[in-house]
Structure 1
Amino acid sequence: MFFIDTIELAGLGNRHYLAGGTDAAVAVDPPRDFDQVLAAAARRGVRITHVVETHIHNDYVTGGLELARVTGASYLVPAGAHVSFARVPVSDGDTVTVEAGLVLRAVATPGHTPHHTAYVLEERGTAVAAFTGGSLLIGTVGRPDLVEPRLTEQLARAQHASVHRLAAELPDATAVLPTHGFGSFCSSAQAEGDHTTIGREKTANTALTTEADSFVAEILAGLEDVPAYYAHMGPANAAGPAPVDLTPAAVADAGEIADRLAAGEWVVDLRNRVAFAEGHVAGSFNFEADGKIATYLAWMVPWGKPVTLLAETPEQLAAAQRELVRVGIDRPAAAAVGTVREWTDEGAPLASFPRSTFAGLAGQGTENVVILDVRRDSERAAGHIEGSVHIPVHQLHQRLGEVPAGTVWVHCAGGMRAAIAASLLDAAGRDVVAVDDGFDSATAAGLPVITG
């Protein structure tokens, strides 16, 4: 009898897996902090004999190499991927025996990357699950544009062919277990639902219900900006990531925090956006610990710039540090835990800015204020407030000079990204109001929303 444990990384929108039988197991696409994989294996009482990668990841730093080292497992990586470490190269049709009656078979599925490989788990000759990585996702497929712009159309066509191959070769009951697609920017669209099968995808996945030319045109037209840190993930994974270090960062007092701000470093406040707006260290930025901190902080911070983290509790700090090592921000330059008053020199004033809603904006009137929309292009295209300025949040720190003069009412789709943007504007000395509201409320508030 086989088992499959799903381990979710909600912050990055990814999943990884531990699958096996009574004695042995295989880990699929593990993250850099793989202690959850070891814990799952310990609960099952199995030994990890194989660690497999579906591809060289562009959105997170893998823990595969180090997990294989500490467990003594064989490390399987697609043969065509250029890497700088010893591994077991895997080609189409290769099989490994996990234990008696349980076999893992490699299926070449190029598209998300040129050498992408899916792994089919077979129990006594019957396919029971397919670990599809960034190939066949729930209702969609992985992006084909993360490797090289000149290859994008070619990879999109390969992606279409790959998912059709999986659909043709595997039984309808086969579980489809992707790595991406649960909020990850590696997905070409956002997944609906959290589980699927080959049979369901045959009727629900646009790649399987659309002919190749139309599919390619549709997927290329829908591609949006790629998080900037992706450029660093592939090379780090190909080189072989160093072991993770989650020990606490050096403690910074109020004086050091002030010095780091004066030096142009990033000081990041992890508290929720309500608390931050009410009072914060002047010049600090707000990336909520409960938001997508890894994605947005790694996307926006100049790569390699020192980051100091401010947290309410040691647990909040540790969780954020764990999120950040997954995307290559290995060590905070410093950190502080406590209250905002402890992070400022005695007598120094706190910075703050107001929060409001779309109804508040409508009551204010839109003629004498700047309305800044920090959503993505596709969100903007679906509907926006007439006369608003559009700068996606991940571009704002580089385009602050483009924000017109006046009080800035900044909004996104729900409030988290608006809070990030408001903190950037506040640090730059702008008068800002953070709209902490769902965009659906804009029309109800009577604001002039242009759709389509």
Structure 2
Amino acid sequence: MFFIDTITVEGLGNRGYLAGGEHAAVAVDPPRDLDVVLAAAARRGVRVTHVVETHLHNDYVSGGLQLARVTGAEYLVPAGAGVSFARTPVADGDTVGIDARLTLVAVATPGHTPHHTAYVLRDGERPVAVFTGGSLLIGTVGRPDLVEPRLTEGLARAQHAAANRLAARLPDETAVLPTHGFGSFCSSAPSDGDASTIGREKAVNPALTVDVDTFVAGLLAGLDDVPAYYAHMGPVNAAGPAPVDLTPPAVADAEGIAERLAAGEWVVDLRSRVAFAEGHVAGTFNFEGEGQPATYLAWMIPWGKPVILLAASAEQLAAAQRELVRVGIDRPAAAATGGPSAWVREGDAPATFPRSTFAGLAEEDRKRIVVLDVRRDSERVGGWVEGSVHIPVHQLHHRIGEVPEGVVWVHCAGGMRAAIAASVLDAAGREVVAVDDGFDAAVDAGLTVHP
């Protein structure tokens, strides 16, 4: 008998896997906080004997190297990945024994990266699953534009060929287990579902249902913005990530928070957007701990800038710290828990701003306010509020001077990014109203929305 456990990394929209038998297991594309993998192995009562990477990751810092060092496992990395540490290079067709009847067979699947490799898990002679990394995803494929712009079209064509190669050599019942596609920006489109098989992908995945020219044209036309921090992930993974330190950061008091703000450091409030709007330290930014703080904070913060975390609880702080190490923000310079009463200097008052809805926006005199849309380009093409200014949230910090004068009503698709943007505007001294509402409500509120 064999098992396959999924290691879900929800904040980044990724998955890793632990697969094995009675005594031994292999970890596939593990997250950097490797304790979650070790805990999964302990629950199964197995030893991690192999760690494999499908590719050199561009969207997160891998835990593979450290996991291999801690467990003594053999570390398998595609031969074409340029890394500066000792590992076992893997080529197409290489086979590794895992446990009793379990073997892992490497299949070259270039496209997401030139060196991308998938791994077929066999129980005896029967393929039972394929770890597809960023190649064949659920209903889509990994994006081919993260390596070098001049390679993008060629890699897109390689994606089509790789997907068809996998589909041709594997039985329809083989489980498809990708790393990307559950909200990750490494996916070229949103995944269609939560689980799949080779047979299902043959029926629904464009890489397997249309010709290569049609596929490439559609793939390239649909590519979205690339998070800025992706530029740093590949080099970190190639050099060999440092071990993770998740111990509590130094404690910041009100004076220390004020001093760090004055020094231009980023002080990030992890509390809910409702709590932040009702009272916060002036100059701080709101990245909700229950949202995607790793993705958007890493996307927006100047790389290497010290970050101070303010959280409602020690648990919220620890969860955010864990998310941030996955994208290379290793150690907060300081942190504090509680609320504004403990974070605001004596004599100062907490800052506030109002929240509203699209119905509230519809009642305003549009000549006296500014409507700011902070969704991505791909979202705005589907519809926008008449007269609104468009600056995606990840660009706002650098383009804040482009926001016209007046009270700024800022919206996104659901409220989380609007809250981030509202905090950035508020920190810059602008008068702001955060629209905490779903974009579909704009039409219902009577606003003119252009397609």
- Following the alignment from structure 1 to structure 2, what is the Cα–Cα distance between the partners of residues 351 and 60? 34
Write the distance in 1 (CA, Å) between the matches of 2:333 and 2:149. Answer: 34
Answering whether residue 70 of structure 2 is matched by residue 70 of structure 1, we say yes
- CA apart distance, 1:347: 2.2
TM-score normalised according to structure 2 size: 0.99
Q: Paired residue for 2:317?
A: 317
Question: 1:415-426 residue pairs with structure 2 within 5 A?
Answer: 415-426=415-426
Looking at structure 1, the residues matched to 44 and 60 of structure 2 have their Cα atoms a distance apart, in angstroms, of: 26
Query: Paired residue for 1:413?
Result: 413
Partner of 2:398, secondary structure, is: coil
Pair 1:235-2:235 in alignment: yes
Question: Matched residues in 2 for 1:373 and 1:148: separation?
Answer: 30
**1:6-46 Cα deviation digits (max 9, x unpaired):** 11010000000000001110000001101111111111111
State the match for 1:99 in structure 2. 99
Task: Measure the CA separation in 1 of the matches of 2:65 and 2:432.
Answer: 46
CA distance in 1, matches of 2:232, 2:371: 34
Structure 1 segment 196-215 matched on structure 2, within 5 A = 196-215=196-215
Corresponding residue of 2:273: 273
CA contact (8 A) 2:406 2:431 kept: yes
What amino acid is the match of 2:18? L
1:284 matched residue in structure 2: 284
Structure 1 distance, partners of 2:18, 2:100, is 17
Report the equivalent of 1:441.
441
Following superposition, the deviation at residue 192 of structure 1 comes to: 2.2
Letter in 2 for 1:289: G
| Aligned amino acid, residue 132 of structure 1 | T
Distance 1:341 1:43 in 2: 42
Segments of structure 1 that go 5 or more residues without pairing to the other structure are none
Tell me the SS of whatever aligns to 1:112: coil
Report the counterpart of residue 145 of structure 1 in structure 2: 145
- Partner secondary structure for residue 399 of structure 1: helix
Aligned partner of residue 115 in structure 1, secondary structure: coil
Residue 206 of structure 1 and its aligned partner are, at CA, apart by 1.1
Q: 2:52, 2:76 within 8 Å by CA — same for their partners in 1?
A: yes
Contact residue 24 and residue 46 of structure 2 kept, 8 A: yes
CA distance in structure 2 between the aligned counterparts of 1:99 and 1:358, rounded to whole angstroms: 57
Matched, 1:33 2:25: no
Residue 367 (structure 2) aligns with = 367
Map of 2:338 onto structure 1: 338
Structure 2 residue aligned with 1:223: 223
Query: Which residue in 1 is equivalent to 2:59?
Result: 59
Give the letter aligned to residue 95 of structure 1.
Answer: T
Distance 2:400 2:5 in 1: 45
1:225 shift after superposition: 1.2
Identity level (%): 78
TM-score, normalised via structure 1 length: 0.99
State the match for 1:294 in structure 2: 294
Indicate the residue corresponding to 2:43 in structure 1: 43
Q: 1:149-168, aligned counterparts within 5 Å? A: 149-168=149-168
User: 3-state DSSP class of the match of 2:19?
Assistant: strand
Do 2:279 and 2:352's aligned partners in 1 also have CA atoms closer than 8 Å?
yes
Secondary structure, counterpart of 1:283 in structure 2: coil
Q: Please give the alpha-carbon distance, in whole angstroms, between the structure 1 residues aligned to 2:182 and 2:352.
A: 34
* Code of the aligned partner of 1:196: S
Which residue of the partner structure matches residue 86 of structure 1?
A: 86
Mapped to 1, the partners of 2:365 and 2:291 lie a distance apart of 30
SS at structure 2 position matched to 1:398: helix
Name the structure 1 match of 2:245. 245
Contact 2:140 2:192 in 1 (8 A): no
Q: Which runs of 5+ in 2 are unaligned?
A: none
Over the aligned positions, Cα root-mean-square deviation in angstroms equals: 0.6
Match of residue 306 from structure 2: 306
Question: What is the CA–CA distance in structure 2 between the aligned matches of 1:67 and 1:297, rounded to whole Å?
Answer: 26
Per-residue Cα deviation, 1:155-174 (whole angstroms, up to 9, x for no partner) = 00000100000011100000
- Tell me how far apart the structure 1 counterparts of residues 190 and 62 of structure 2 sit (CA, whole Å): 22
- Give the Å deviation of 1:366: 2.2
